[in-house]
């Protein structure tokens, strides 16, 4: 089916805003110390770092349900505007409270953006073609998440406020395109029907439960020990609340997460695959830099350059995987090959040492990126293949939530492994002052090249050896999750992808636009 001007302008705008939203999710990873110092944040830096991902994650199923009621156009325009508003608040923050407020507003906008860029692609093209366009949009968004720390570090050296102001011109460019060209058909719903068309109880319980779980994961091991009741209580309450939510959805007349979404093995397997892929993407993106900075002694900027093989192979690889899916209609071989490489890559990383040749570690990044490229654009089509088109919004909401939730776990789990194994091997550091300075989770923040290089040659060698031992356990952990993804592929079943766009939504191209495109 030929695609007109409106279609390509919409796709381009989705790529731009997806990149910007993902960039903002990770941009303060390096800039946070500078921001905390400027705002005198103290121990509130944890809230500054994580309020964005918390707000981004919890709202997605609710926004998906709103999209079925109000369509896609105005929710998308509003969320971009909210994201821009949050960026302006954060950029102009004079104190920590304002920064937290701005980052939270940004997260609310970003949650809607990341959900709706996928949902809109699903509205524009048939199921069989979605992999191709999802590959373009999602790989661009993934690039934003990967380059965010490097961009944040570079901007923080000049003026940290531009970590947030940088979003404003992009939003100003995207919003007019969305207002004029994004005209998605939908059923008109009266405001009086909102009380019966929205799962108020389910959404409330879901948001409260996931908030409790994420807060426990964020503060565990940083502000409070994992054994503290302040961590255990929200995790337990959140888990119980989440279980109650899924029970309630079975009796709710208008569930925001219909149980039928999990009623077949293909959708359920694909849901798990995107969770694992997102989890391990954060996993490797947070710990490859530790290898470069702590073991090889590279600077922040050079670390960004050294991670380029991963970044630049992910985008074309995703586009190629999307084209293959569109041509063949078969996603299981792509998932199998993807998880095989995704498992092999981190496993081979265990062979890294301080003298590994550049060509070797570059190839290891490419292996890992190639695996993820095969999975990222092909899991949502697999989720939707057994489901009716009426479930696209709800299924995409769950898919987007699991992806964001995977990002949270992708920081928490490897950090626990790394800190635990570093402390376990720390006895090999004979200088007690150096050893004590790095215990209790401080090894991650002290991984910068200058700290390690400031040590005596003997202490430096010992510290690097402990870093390598701890990283080896981190890589093995990622490998284990990759294997679980391979098991999910075995459970998955092939369902033919629909070649016709059978939806109540879709791009409503006006006569004016048709005339322009002739």
Tell me: the pLDDT tens digits for 279-318?
Answer: 998 888 878 888 988 899 887 677 777 888 887 788 788 8
Q: Where are the beta strands (DSSP E) in 91-178?
A: none
Mean pLDDT of all residues in 99-103: 92
Report the C-alpha gap between 263 and 484 in whole angstroms. 20
Q: Which tokens sit at 419?
A: 């800190």
Query: Which pLDDT value is given to residue 195?
Result: 64
Asked which of 241-245, 327-331, 469-473 is least confident by mean pLDDT, the reply is 327-331
Q: pLDDT band at residue 88, thresholds of 50, 70 and 90?
A: very high
Q: pLDDT per residue over 358-414, tens digit each?
A: 999 999 999 999 999 999 889 999 999 898 878 888 898 899 889 888 888 887 888
Whether 68 and 16 map to the same domain: the answer is yes
Question: Over the Cα atoms of the chain, what is R_g?
Answer: 23
- Note whether 364 and 426 are same-domain residues: yes
Distance in angstroms (rounded) separating the CA atoms of residues 362 and 380: 29
Residues 359 and 466 in one domain: yes
In this structure, what is the dihedral angle of CA atoms 391, 393, 394, 396, given to the nearest 10 degrees?
110
Range of the domain at 207: 199-255
- Are residues 284 and 250 both part of a single domain? no
User: From the centroid of its chain, how far is CA 218?
Assistant: 16
Same domain, 336 and 469: yes
Q: Between 25 and 260, whose confidence is greater? A: 260
- Are both 133 and 172 inside the same structural domain? yes
218/359 same-domain check: no
Residue 248: pLDDT above 80?
A: yes
How many beta carbons lie within 10 A of that of residue 1, not counting itself?
A: 9
Rounded to whole angstroms, how far apart are CA atoms 358 and 84?
Answer: 40
Give the C-alpha separation, 239 to 225, whole Å.
19
Residue 323: what pLDDT? 87
Can you read off the two tokens belonging to residue 487? Answer: 């098991």
CA distance 126 to 117: 15
Domains in the chain, number: 2
161 & 248 share domain: no
Q: Cα angle at 298 between 431 and 462, to 5 degrees?
A: 20
pLDDT tens digits along 35-64: 877 888 766 766 777 788 888 888 888 888
Do 340 and 386 fall into the same domain?
yes
Task: Quick: pLDDT tens for 155-181.
Answer: 877 888 998 999 999 999 999 999 888
Q: State whether 133 and 236 are in the same domain.
A: no
Q: What is the 3-state secondary structure (H, E, C) of 255-295?
A: CCCCHHHHCCHHHHHHHHHHHHHHHHHHHHHHHHHHHHHHH
Q: What is the number of alpha carbons within 13 Å of residue 176 lying toward its C-beta?
A: 4
CATH number of the domain where residue 74 is located: 1.20.1250.20
Q: Are residues 187 and 218 in the same domain?
A: no
Are 179 and 203 in a shared domain? Answer: no
């Amino acid at each position: 089916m030929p695609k007109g001007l409106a279609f390509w302008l919409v796709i381009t705008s989705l790529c731009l805003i997806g990149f910007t939203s993902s960039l903002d999710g990770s941009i303060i990873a390096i800039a946070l110390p500078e921001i905390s110092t400027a705002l005198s944040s103290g121990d509130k830096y944890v809230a500054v770092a994580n309020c964005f991902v918390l707000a981004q994650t919890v709202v997605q199923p609710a926004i998906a349900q709103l999209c079925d009621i109000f369509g896609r156009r105005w929710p998308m325009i509003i969320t971009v505007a909210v994201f821009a508003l949050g960026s302006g608040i954060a950029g102009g923050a004079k104190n920590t409270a304002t920064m937290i407020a701005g980052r939270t507003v940004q997260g609310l906008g970003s949650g809607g953006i990341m959900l709706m860029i996928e949902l809109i692609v699903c509205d524009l093209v048939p199921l069989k073609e979605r992999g191709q366009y999802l590959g373009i949009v999602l790989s661009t968004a993934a690039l934003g998440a990967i380059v965010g720390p490097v961009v944040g570090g570079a901007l923080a050296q000049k003026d940290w406020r531009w970590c947030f102001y940088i979003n404003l011109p992009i939003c100003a460019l995207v919003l007019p395109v969305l207002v004029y060209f994004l005209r998605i058909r939908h059923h008109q719903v009266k405001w009086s029907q909102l009380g019966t068309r929205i799962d108020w109880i389910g959404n409330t319980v879901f948001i409260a439960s996931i908030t409790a779980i994420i807060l426990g994961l964020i503060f565990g091991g940083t502000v409070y020990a994992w054994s503290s009741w302040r961590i255990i209580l929200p995790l337990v309450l959140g888990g119980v609340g989440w279980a109650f939510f899924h029970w309630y959805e079975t009796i709710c007349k208008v569930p925001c997460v219909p149980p039928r979404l999990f009623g077949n093995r293909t959708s359920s397997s694909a849901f798990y695959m995107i969770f694992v892929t997102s989890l391990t993407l954060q996993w490797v993106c947070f710990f490859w830099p530790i290898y470069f900075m702590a073991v090889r002694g590279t600077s922040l900027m050079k670390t960004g350059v050294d991670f380029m093989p991963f970044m630049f192979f992910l985008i074309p690889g995703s586009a190629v995987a999307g084209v293959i899916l569109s041509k063949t209609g078969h996603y299981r071989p792509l998932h199998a090959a993807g998880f095989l490489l995704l498992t092999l890559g981190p496993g081979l990383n265990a062979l890294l040492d301080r003298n590994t040749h550049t060509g070797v570690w570059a190839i290891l990044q490419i292996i890992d990126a190639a695996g993820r490229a095969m999975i990222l654009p092909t899991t949502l089509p697999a989720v939707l293949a057994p489901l009716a088109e009426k479930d696209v919004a709800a299924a995409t909401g769950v898919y987007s939530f699991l992806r964001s939730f995977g990002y949270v776990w992708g920081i928490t789990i490897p950090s626990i492994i790394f800190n635990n194994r570093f402390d376990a091997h720390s006895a090999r550091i004979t200088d007690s002052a150096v050893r004590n300075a790095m215990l209790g989770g401080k090894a991650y923040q002290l991984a910068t090249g200058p700290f390690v290089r400031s040590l005596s040659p003997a202490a430096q060698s010992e510290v690097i050896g402990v870093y390598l031992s701890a990283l080896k356990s981190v890589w093995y952990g990622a490998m284990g999750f990759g294997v679980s993804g391979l098991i999910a592929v075995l459970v998955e079943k092939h369902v033919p992808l629909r070649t016709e766009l059978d939806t109540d939504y879709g791009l409503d191209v006006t006569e004016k636009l048709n005339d322009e495109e002739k």
